[in-house]
Amino acid sequence: MLIMRKICFSFTIIVFSALLCMPLSAQPSDVPVIIPQIAAIIINGDSDLQPAISVPDKDGSGQKKLVLRFRENNILIRITPESGYEYQYFLSGFDKRPSSWEKVNLKEYTNLPAGHYTFQAWFMDPQNKSGEMDPIYLIIKPMWYFSKLALTLYAILFLSAVWAFYEHLEFRYARKQYLLEQIINKRTEDLVIEKEKTEALLANVLPKNTADEIMAKGKATKAKYNFVTVLFSDIQGFTQIAEEMNPEVLIDELDKFFFHFDSVVEKYRIEKIKTIGDAYMCAGGIPEKNRTNPVEVILAALEMQQYMNRLKETSLLQGMKYWDIRIGIHTGTVVAGVVGQKKLSYDIWGDTVNTASRMESSGEAGKINISGTTYEFVKDFFICEHRGKMPVKYKGELDMYFVRGIIPELCDEKGLPNDKFRFKMQIIKLEDVEEAVNKIFGDEAPPDLYFHNAPLARSITSQVELIATAEQLPEEIYVNLKLASIFLITGYMADYDNPAEAAFNLMGEILPRFSFDERYIIATRHLITNAFTEKYESLADKILHDARYDYLGRIDYIKLIDKLMRERNEHGIITGTYAWTDIQKKLLRDHDFLTKTGKLLRSVSVEEQITALQARYK
């Protein structure tokens, strides 16, 4: 390898020296100047002195260049002639200034760094005639790892490393954020689960409204309910049973009874109040008021009675002792609320509670004893046996009745309520639904509903009742019509531009709470859709139409349409006075009531209304 390297360098030097053997222009003198020449260039001391050579520039620029590798950075330049001449040397890019004149024909440079150099030499002959030799251009290549390509790669690698580091930091940050979010979500989920457990536990102790009020305010206000039905049940001869039975077995039996009673009262939306020993107390009509609570409480009492009868039959077959219960029921006014600050308990107070307790104690085992007051509310649903006036402690004599079961025409073969029974209940529940919707109007209706408000809603429902009665509408259809009249304009509270759909949403939320199934919801939805699309397919559609547009024939028509125009303007439906007058005139002329009763109920004629309209908006 060393021999080959020397041959290579010698060839390069020979070629390069050949390029340098170009004479300089002689200075104007009578004596010709002998131009010195480069005899040899020795690199790293590996080559012997060679004759002067000249290497042509490969890029065609005319310059003489010698390109060397990085390790070939020790250069010795020898010039001829050796004696009689003085020389001055300068390596541009390395020397700071030219050397002083000296009679040395050798110039050596060691450890030249990579770069571009220009070697210049001046001479002075013995006659003191001077001149400049052609320059030599040297290029010492850097190490491969300092080449342009390498530096470019370094830059790319550096930028890639910076980018990768940034991505790594971003990934770590994102991962940390993700882990934090997971921890937060997990803890939030745990908190939600615990909150739900707490709410569920609280709901088992207190009514939902009362529990919400306590959680929001820290305490609950007491409330008076004017129409509540209270039920007391008690196990016959429990004191003797407790003395004879194992306590654990006794508690298990009581738990089994009360567990079933709990499921029954929940089924009929009755509020369990408490258990005291073997006594079970519950009340219907609280905390949500309703008009069907006397019937629902007796239905619950009948299911409790049937359950105990089944247990009695099983015990008799097995030759075991059986338990029997007395049930007492009374309807009246109570005050309900939470007492104490620890171990909160929802309770009810009042004469109604005391009377219900007396009904239970005055009853007989296996029978349901109700007061005369309760009887008046349920006599159309149940068979009741009058016991006469019975003496009651601190009460004197009170009318009492034993409930024997449901009226035959209202029950099926098994003695359970049939469709007629449920329909009669729905008729009563219509007033509860109307009251609930009116409450929503009062609590949630926006203040800019000047026309489609609670008074208009009540007017529509009352007109429906009046016209339906006069037109002798069948009760089966009346229920759906009444529901439609209740919900007809409720949608304006939530979505003024699409009130029908908003009314359907509210209807789907409220009606199931009052035991109205999908059949009623579909039928009511159909009537409301027809009302908004002005399709009058049935008598019910026509009655709803006349009730809705009843204001067109009323004496306060002008006042009402003033409110309607103001309401429309505030909801973005801008109408000028003249345009509004024209709209109302057209409505009055084109409109006609569709039922005989509706026409009879008109108080003011069309001509009178138009005259009043023109006078109002002239």
Question: Kind of pairing, strands 136-140 and 65-68?
Answer: parallel
Q: How far is CA 160 from CA 152, 173, 318, 607, in A?
A: 12, 19, 88, 88
User: Which pLDDT band, with edges at 50, 70 and 90, does 61 fall under?
Assistant: low
Any domain includes 264: yes
Any domain includes 210: no
**Same domain assignment for residues 399 and 255:** yes
Q: What is the CATH number of the domain that holds 539?
A: 1.10.3210
Rounded-to-integer distance, Cα 139 and Cα 124, Å: 28
Rounded-to-integer distance, Cα 492 and Cα 503, Å: 8
**Same domain assignment for residues 99 and 231:** no
* Final residue before a domain boundary, out of 417, 435, 467: 417
Q: Which residues make beta-bridge pairs with 465?
A: none
pLDDT over 90 (residue 231): yes
**Same domain assignment for residues 397 and 436:** no
Any domain includes 213: no
**Same domain assignment for residues 476 and 589:** yes
pLDDT over 80 (residue 72): yes
Q: Rounded to a whole number, what is the distance in angstroms from the first to the last CA of the chain?
A: 119
Rounded-to-integer distance, Cα 203 and Cα 161, Å: 60
What DSSP state is assigned to residue 499? H
Within 13 A of 570's CA, how many CA atoms are on the CB side?
12
Q: Which helix (H) or strand (E) holds 254?
A: helix 247-267
**Same domain assignment for residues 456 and 581:** yes
Q: How far is CA 552 from CA 281, 581, 585, 588, in A?
A: 53, 14, 11, 7
pLDDT over 90 (residue 233): yes
Q: Which residues make beta-bridge pairs with 397?
A: 391
**Same domain assignment for residues 303 and 253:** yes
Rounded-to-integer distance, Cα 329 and Cα 360, Å: 7
Helix (H, G, I), strand (E, B) or coil at 449: coil
According to the model, what pLDDT value does residue 486 have?
96
Within 13 A of 330's CA, how many CA atoms are on the CB side?
23
pLDDT in tens, 564-576: 999 999 999 988 8
**Same domain assignment for residues 76 and 178:** no
Residue 49: which of 101, 102, 105, 89 has the closest Cα? 105
Residue 81, preceding peptide bond in cis (omega within 30° of 0): yes
CB 519 within 8 A of CB 525: no
Any domain includes 478: yes
DSSP 286-305: -SS--S-HHHHHHHHHHHHH
Rounded-to-integer distance, Cα 542 and Cα 530, Å: 10
Q: Mean pLDDT over residues 257-281, rounded?
A: 91
Any domain includes 428: yes
pLDDT in tens, 516-562: 989 999 999 999 999 999 999 999 999 999 999 999 999 999 999 99
**Same domain assignment for residues 440 and 556:** yes
Please, what is the average pLDDT of the chain?
86
**What percent of the chain is modeled with pLDDT above 70?**
91
Length, in residues, of the chain: 618
Q: Which residues make beta-bridge pairs with 385?
A: 402
CB 233 within 8 A of CB 279: yes
pLDDT in tens, 14-25: 444 444 444 444
**Same domain assignment for residues 267 and 385:** yes
**Same domain assignment for residues 427 and 413:** no
Helix (H, G, I), strand (E, B) or coil at 20: helix
Q: What is the CATH number of the domain that holds 106?
A: 2.60.40.10
pLDDT in tens, 396-435: 889 999 999 999 999 988 889 999 999 999 999 999 999 9
Residue 539: which of 461, 479, 471 has the closest Cα? 471
Rounded-to-integer distance, Cα 512 and Cα 34, Å: 124
* Final residue before a domain boundary, out of 146, 174, 192: 146
Helices (H), 318-453: 351-361, 372-378, 419-444
CB 486 within 8 A of CB 433: yes
According to the model, what pLDDT value does residue 240 have?
76
How far out from the chain centre does Cα 143 lie? 64
Q: What is the CATH number of the domain that holds 256?
A: 3.30.70.1230
Any domain includes 566: yes
Rounded-to-integer distance, Cα 365 and Cα 312, Å: 12
What is the chain's Cα-based Rg?
Answer: 55
Q: Mean pLDDT over residues 600-617, rounded?
A: 89
Q: Which single residue is written with the structure tokens 């009046």?
A: 466
* Final residue before a domain boundary, out of 125, 146, 167: 146
According to the model, what pLDDT value does residue 148 have?
80
Residue-range definition of the domain harbouring residue 168: 155-205
**Same domain assignment for residues 126 and 265:** no
Q: CB burial class (10 A; 0-12, 13-18, 19+) of residue 140? A: buried
Other Cβ atoms within 10 Å of 186 Cβ, number: 10
Any domain includes 521: yes
Domain total in the chain: 4
Q: Return the structure tokens found at 30.
A: 């009578």
**Same domain assignment for residues 516 and 593:** yes
pLDDT over 50 (residue 476): yes
Residue 287, preceding peptide bond in cis (omega within 30° of 0): yes
Any domain includes 212: no
